[in-house]
């Protein structure tokens, strides 16, 4: 095809990213951001986005859980559409680029294509997925899980937040109504889906490359553990008598780290990022500890094998310390392979723009992991400074954003022609 000549307005995009970052519940000012799904802040951010979509002449549809679709109608609107997009929720004390680059960058890609005079044959949607981050309900990608059937409406509706309120209650309090089944996508909805995202790792920056074309997305699992021992007075109970739940949990955390280090797969990573100690008093022996495990690998079978070994190790440590351990697998998703046609389109776009690029895997998960179940899917990465993400100092430059948006736009143009 003949590629359109684009002018990406990076300054406008940066100012929109900065404005979006002001919708935050973080105790620190932007660029530190906290934006949890279905809070007032999330709703205000959604209103801001809606204004931008409408100003760009897009038609907005919101589904029963708040997934938002801003459509640029093609000349043959009855054809399956092309989708792009990402998320705008942000984990506590994080940065202003994770996810937002895919939503506002997707919008800027459409505006740049419109300015160039390009006319898509297929409609193009910018999708904003509800709750990619697991902060509130323990499981990430709730919007795309529902859309793709990776989670049933019943499973989703029953998820609870820390206050014990169900997903179903929280979404309707936030103003999102309708049957959850109506949010499920049929396989004809999208002929292609492509997500623009910061790399969240250091490889592109280290190599001086502008674009990563993703070929596969790693398989994530989330597991909750609960260790129950016996509490008591920190002065009165002598050491040999103790059944300290935190000391046992500490051994489990170290065993998890060891098993991950010893894994035959270099891509396997394990993180214990949350630990809740009960009763949590300086002079009280911990009687109960809950902790979370985040375990990922590009090789789903290896991930499952390591999970089995972790569970066996935790059981053994518990027996040796006379405490109980139980676990619950919240999700254990298979990896996704990106569609060759989309990979090729993104490679051609980067080549056309003269941008140094590489093919790579995504170690983070994304809504694309689930979109891949209902549509041919791909992802485009841009570098971020120091590979830093999920931190306030997450940063990608206006030039890097411009390259990513231009690559996305030319990819969309091919897929929508």
Question: Least Å distance between CB 325 and ligand GLV?
Answer: 25
Q: Select 132 or 402, whichever has its Cβ closest to ligand GLV.
A: 132
CA angle (224 as vertex; 273, 278 as ends), nearest 5: 75
Contact 176, 65 (CB under 8 A): yes
x/- string (CB under 5 A) for Mn ion, residues 78-117?
A: --------------------xx------------------
Selection from ligand GLV, Mn ion, none that 339 binds (CB < 5 to 8 A by kind) is: none
Q: Tell the residue number behind the tokens 């997934």, with chain if given.
A: 67
Question: Least Å distance between CB 135 and Mn ion?
Answer: 9
Question: Least Å distance between CB 309 and ligand GLV?
Answer: 22
Distance, CA of 131 to CA of 35 (rounded, Å): 10
Distance, CA of 60 to CA of 121 (rounded, Å): 19
Selection from Mn ion, ligand GLV, none that 231 binds (CB < 5 to 8 A by kind) is: none
Region 344-383 residues binding ligand GLV, contact defined as CB under 6 A: 364-365
The strand ranges marked E within 96-138 are 124-129
If one asks whether residue 133 binds ligand GLV (CB under 6 A), the answer comes out as yes
Q: How many residues bind ligand GLV (CB under 6 A)?
A: 4
Q: Select 369 or 374, whichever has its Cβ closest to ligand GLV.
A: 369
Question: Least Å distance between CB 404 and ligand GLV?
Answer: 18
Tokens encoding 117:
């005079």
Selection from ligand GLV, Mn ion, none that 105 binds (CB < 5 to 8 A by kind) is: none
Distance, CA of 397 to CA of 17 (rounded, Å): 12
Q: What is the distance, to the nearest Å, from the Cα of residue 333 to the centroid of all Cα atoms in its chain? A: 13
Question: Least Å distance between CB 140 and ligand GLV?
Answer: 6
Helix/strand/coil percent split, the chain, to 5: 35, 25, 40
Tokens encoding 6:
């684009």
Q: Tell the residue number behind the tokens 């209902």, with chain if given.
A: 374
Question: Least Å distance between CB 381 and Mn ion?
Answer: 11
The strand ranges marked E within 298-356 are 324-332, 336-337
Q: Select 63 or 133, whichever has its Cβ closest to ligand GLV.
A: 133
Which residues in this chain contact Mn ion in the complex, by CB under 5 A? Answer: 98-99
Which residues in this chain contact ligand GLV in the complex, by CB under 6 A? Answer: 133, 140, 364-365
């Amino acid at each position: 095809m003949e590629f359109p000549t684009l002018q990406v307005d990076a300054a406008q995009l940066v100012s929109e990213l900065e404005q979006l970052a002001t919708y935050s519940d973080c105790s620190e000012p932007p660029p530190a951001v906290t934006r949890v799904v279905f809070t007032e802040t999330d709703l205000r951010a959604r209103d801001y986005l809606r204004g931008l979509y409408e100003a760009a002449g897009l038609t907005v549809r919101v589904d029963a859980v708040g997934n938002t679709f801003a459509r640029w109608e093609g000349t043959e609107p009855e054809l399956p559409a092309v989708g792009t997009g990402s998320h705008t929720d942000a984990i506590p004390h994080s940065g202003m680029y994770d996810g937002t680059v895919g939503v506002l960058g997707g919008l800027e890609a459409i505006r740049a294509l419109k300015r160039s005079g390009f006319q898509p044959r297929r409609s193009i949607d910018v999708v904003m997925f509800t709750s990619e981050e697991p902060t509130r309900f323990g499981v990430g990608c709730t919007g795309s899980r529902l859309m793709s059937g990776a989670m049933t409406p019943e499973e989703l509706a029953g998820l609870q937040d820390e206050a014990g309120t169900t997903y179903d209650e929280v979404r309707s309090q936030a103003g999102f109504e309708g049957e959850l089944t109506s949010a499920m996508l049929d396989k004809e909805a999208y002929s292609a889906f492509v997500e623009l995202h910061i790399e969240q790792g250091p490889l592109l920056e280290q190599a001086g490359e502008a674009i990563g074309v993703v070929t596969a997305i790693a398989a994530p699992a989330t597991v909750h553990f609960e260790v129950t021992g016996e509490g008591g007075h920190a002065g009165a109970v002598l050491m040999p008598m103790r059944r300290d739940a935190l000391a046992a949990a500490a051994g489990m955390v170290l065993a998890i780290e060891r098993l991950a280090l010893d894994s035959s797969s270099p891509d396997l990573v394990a993180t214990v990022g949350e630990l809740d100690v009960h009763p949590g008093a300086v002079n009280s022996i911990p009687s109960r500890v809950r902790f979370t495990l985040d375990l990922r690998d590009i090789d789903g079978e290896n991930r499952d094998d390591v999970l089995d070994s972790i569970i066996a190790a935790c059981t053994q440590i518990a027996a040796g310390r006379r405490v109980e351990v139980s676990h619950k697998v919240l999700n254990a998703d298979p990896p996704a392979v990106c569609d060759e046609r989309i990979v090729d389109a993104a490679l051609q776009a980067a080549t056309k723009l003269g941008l140094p690029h590489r093919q790579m895997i995504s170690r983070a998960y994304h809504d694309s992991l689930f979109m891949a179940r209902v549509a041919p899917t791909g992802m485009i990465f841009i570098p971020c400074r120091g590979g830093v993400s999920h931190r306030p100092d997450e940063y990608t430059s206006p030039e890097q954003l411009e390259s990513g948006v231009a690559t996305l736009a030319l990819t969309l143009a091919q897929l929508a022609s």
